[in-house]
Amino acid sequence: MNNVSQDHFVTADGRSIGGALMEMQNITLRFGGVVALEDISFDILEGEVRAIIGPNGAGKSSMLNVISGFYVPQEGQVLYRGSLRPAMKPFQVATQGIARTFQNIALFEGMSVLDNVMTGRITKIKSGIFSQMIWKGRAEREEIENREVVEKIIDFLEIQAIRKTPVSRLPYGLKKRVELARALAAEPSLLLLDEPMAGMNVEEKEDMSRFILDVNSEFGTTIALIEHDMSVVMDLSDRVVVMDYGKKIGDGTPDEIRNNQEVIDAYLGVSHD
Amino acid sequence: MPDKFLFAMEVMLNGLMAGVLYSLVALGFVLIFKASGIFNYAQGVMALFAALTLVGIKDGQIPFAHLINAIFGTNIHHFGWHLPAFVAIIFTVIVMIGFAWLVQRFIFRHLVNQEPIILFMATIGLAYFLEGVGDLMWGSDIKKLDVGIPKGMNETIELLTYNRFGYGFFIDNLDIFATFLAVILVTVLVGFSQYTKQGRALRAVADDHQAALSVGISLGYIWVLVWSIAGVVALVAGTVWGAKSGVQFSLSLIALKALPVLMLGGFTSIPGAIVGGLIIGVGEKLFEFLVGPMIGGATENWFAYVLALVFLVFRPQGLFGERIIERV
């Protein structure tokens, strides 16, 4: 559904969704002889929740890794805020306002929850190394400012109680939440979530869904997420990209996807010939 | 027997100060291990190389003079200047930063995500390479390093203790100087790693590469930074040891003394390196003093290693190291 109007519009629940924040154009990614992504194009609009779904091995995570700079596609281009993005390292992508979480949680296990989340703001610190060491002037102001943002996010995700706990001691569901908090700490314009609900129980899933929706509506953060649970995807997202065997087989609103024959075939397992 | 007690006190004090010197070397190991999980076998050679460079720059030696003379048939050796110590130190720091960049650019950038043993092997190669380069650049003769570090017995302490206890303590000025230097160095390093964004980034990189990248930390930058700091620490260690016993090949062997210190203090703890060094320093001097005469002396050669071995059995992570708990 690439013909979505580029003008701003307002959703039923009052969020405004605008022009394309990110456009993927004819992305092809190969690992040796294996084609992980084949000529995939789609866009992510400012303010929307965009889901990428598909069976195992469809190339969803590869797609997310292309967006966040972990993989460099052989062909195709990425447009960010309307201009062509040059080849970038992952840390450079991060400084552009794209934050992400990982499928297999990547947290700083040795640090406390608070330190983990504070690390998310590392690129926001501009004061000199010496002023940071003696804790004066700009460094002090920045640290206070960063602390305020971080505390707000910690409150928001309801992890106040575990602020000082070393991450390695937390259960899986909470780790996922801390990872989300760290990504949010960067105040990203685009948030990439790689299977934010994988391995969670129903209650944890409900919590996480609520947080994702709240982040989107309260901070206005654009979100692109990968998820397996179809009911979750259909409830959460404004638009859905469906992938199978490295190809895009569907793109549209949840309702359109539900009725898309190719998608139904892919999920019900029609033989490929 | 008060005399013997006083003598033991003196031995202990000297042990403490020798321990500080061990700690200086161990610090370099800890920094790199903390940030990149690499056990840097080359740390000792880095100390030697830094000291050689410092002497060379200070005395206006022409680097690679022998090589140049052999190839071009010239006969040049000196620029003919003698730089003040602090200028030479600044230039040496620049050389060590350049070295850090080269190491990152040409070795470790290509070994990302390799097994620790492979990284370790790379540092062994680096050690021998650097040793050769050091020889080629500055010559292999024993050099005297004089950057104005005070040497000899501290007379004030001798006098004070003599008047107080009737027995003058022999404390070397160099050791006192080294102690102050170590205190400053550790304060700065701890301040750096705890309170600055680079320090936080360093801990982040040490913990998880992917996560560090995802929050906008450049791995390459952090590694160059860490190797630079380790280079500067090596310079401090090399300078103090060099001033004590001359700049020569055996300087690189001080790395071996740092090993038991690391086992005691833990490979990941800056305070651990200090405390470990002090324990080893005091332990080996006191042991030599108290037990040495009964078993024929020369215990300083092995005491530290045996102590480290005992520690390995009862506390494998060291005094301050992170405990590794594997969930089953």
Q: Which domain holds residue B165?
A: 2-314
Chain B residues at the A interface, defined by Cβ less than 8 Å, are 188, 191-192, 195-198, 200-201, 203-204, 206-208, 210-219, 322
Q: DSSP letter at B248?
A: S
pLDDT tops 60 at residue B51: yes
Interface residue of B185, B194, B197, B205 to substitute, partner A, most A CBs within 10 Å: B197
**CB neighbourhood size of B313 (10 A):** 7
Whether residue A90 sits in one domain with residue A28 = yes
Report the side by side order of strands in the sheet with A34-45.
Answer: A34-45, A20-31, A75-80, A83-84
Whether residue A1 sits in one domain with residue A84 = yes
Whether residue A92 sits in one domain with residue A192 = yes
How many structural domains is chain A composed of?
Answer: 2
CA distance A187 to chain B (A): 11
Contact B192 A133 (CB under 8 A): yes
**Domain annotation covers residue B247:** yes
> What residues does A191 pair with on adjacent strands?
A99, A223
CA A180 to chain centre: 9
Looking at residue A9, what is its pLDDT? 73
What residue in B sits closest to A129 (Cα-Cα)? B196
Q: Which domain holds residue A64?
A: 1-97+188-273
**CB neighbourhood size of A9 (10 A):** 12
CA distance B119 to chain A (A): 22
CA distance A13 to chain B (A): 31
Whether residue A177 sits in one domain with residue A210 = no
Looking at residue A270, what is its pLDDT? 65
CA distance A156 to chain B (A): 20
Whether residue A198 sits in one domain with residue A86 = yes
Torsion of CA B104, A104, A92, A62, to 10 degrees: 110
A162: contact with B, CB 8 A cutoff = no
Whether residue A214 sits in one domain with residue A169 = no
Whether residue A69 sits in one domain with residue A29 = yes
**Domain annotation covers residue A103:** no
Looking at residue B324, what is its pLDDT? 62
Whether residue A14 sits in one domain with residue A88 = yes
Contact A108 B216 (CB under 8 A): no
Contact A110 B191 (CB under 8 A): no
Strands A34-45 and A20-31 turn out to be antiparallel
A169: contact with B, CB 8 A cutoff = no
User: Where does residue A166 rank: exposed (0-12), middle (13-18), buried (19+ CB within 10 A)?
Assistant: middle
Contact A110 B207 (CB under 8 A): yes
**Domain annotation covers residue B25:** yes
pLDDT tops 80 at residue A195: yes
pLDDT tops 50 at residue B269: yes
Which residues lie below 8 Å from residue A46, measured CB to CB, with a gap of 6+?
A17, A18, A19, A20, A21, A189, A222
Which of the listed residues A153, A169, A187 is the one where a domain comes to its end?
A187
Give me the mean pLDDT over the A208-231 stretch: 90
Helices (H), chain B: 2-36, 43-58, 65-72, 85-106, 116-138, 155-165, 173-195, 197-207, 209-214, 219-245, 254-265, 270-290, 292-295, 303-314
Give the residue from A16, A10, A42 showing the smallest Cα distance to A27: A42
When CB atoms are compared, the residue of A90, A94, A109 closest to B207 is A109
Contact A106 B214 (CB under 8 A): yes
**Domain annotation covers residue A272:** yes
CATH number of the domain residue A63 falls in: 3.40.50.300
- Identify residue A159 by its one-letter amino acid code: I
Whether residue A131 sits in one domain with residue A81 = no
pLDDT tops 80 at residue A15: no
What residue in A sits closest to B213 (Cα-Cα)? A91
pLDDT tops 60 at residue B259: yes
Which of the listed residues A172, A187, A202 is the one where a domain comes to its end?
A187
Burial A79-114 (b: 16+ CB within 10 A, else e): ebeeeebeebebbbbbbbbbbbbbeebbbbbbbbbb
When CB atoms are compared, the residue of A106, A122, A186 closest to B210 is A106
Contact B203 A108 (CB under 8 A): yes
**Domain annotation covers residue A90:** yes
Contact A91 B191 (CB under 8 A): no
Residues 119-138 of A with CB under 8 A from B: 119-120, 122-123, 125, 129, 132-135
**Domain annotation covers residue A102:** no
**Domain annotation covers residue B322:** no
**Domain annotation covers residue B120:** yes
Contact B213 A132 (CB under 8 A): no
**Domain annotation covers residue B319:** no
Q: Assess contact for B108 and B36: CB atoms under 8 A.
A: yes
A128-137, A193-202, B7-16, B201-210: which range is least confident on average?
Answer: A128-137
When CB atoms are compared, the residue of A91, A100, A129 closest to B198 is A129
pLDDT tops 50 at residue B233: yes
Which of the listed residues A187, A213, A240 is the one where a domain comes to its end?
A187
CA distance A226 to chain B (A): 17
List of chain A residues whose C-beta atoms are within 8 Å of the C-beta of residue B203: 108, 110-111
Looking at residue A1, what is its pLDDT? 40
List of chain B residues whose C-beta atoms are within 8 Å of the C-beta of residue A125: 197
Whether residue A133 sits in one domain with residue A17 = no
- Tell me the C-alpha distance between B95 and A135, whole Å: 30
When CB atoms are compared, the residue of A94, A108, A111 closest to B216 is A94
pLDDT in tens, B303-328: 999 999 998 888 888 887 766 666 56
**Domain annotation covers residue A113:** yes
- Integer-rounded Cα Rg, in Å, for chain B is 21
Interface residue of A108, A121, A143 to substitute, partner B, most B CBs within 10 Å: A108
**Domain annotation covers residue B268:** yes
Question: Which pLDDT band, with edges at 50, 70 and 90, does A5 fall under?
Answer: very low
Percent of chain A with pLDDT over 90: 58
Question: Which pLDDT band, with edges at 50, 70 and 90, does B169 fall under?
Answer: confident
How many structural domains is chain B composed of?
Answer: 1
Question: Which pLDDT band, with edges at 50, 70 and 90, does B232 fall under?
Answer: very high
- Tell me the C-alpha distance between B51 and B243, whole Å: 9
pLDDT tops 80 at residue B11: yes
**Domain annotation covers residue B321:** no
Give the residue from B234, B207, B321 showing the smallest Cα distance to B273: B321
Looking at residue B37, what is its pLDDT? 80
pLDDT in tens, B108-139: 888 877 888 999 999 999 999 999 999 999 98
Contact B207 A108 (CB under 8 A): yes
Whether residue A195 sits in one domain with residue A85 = yes
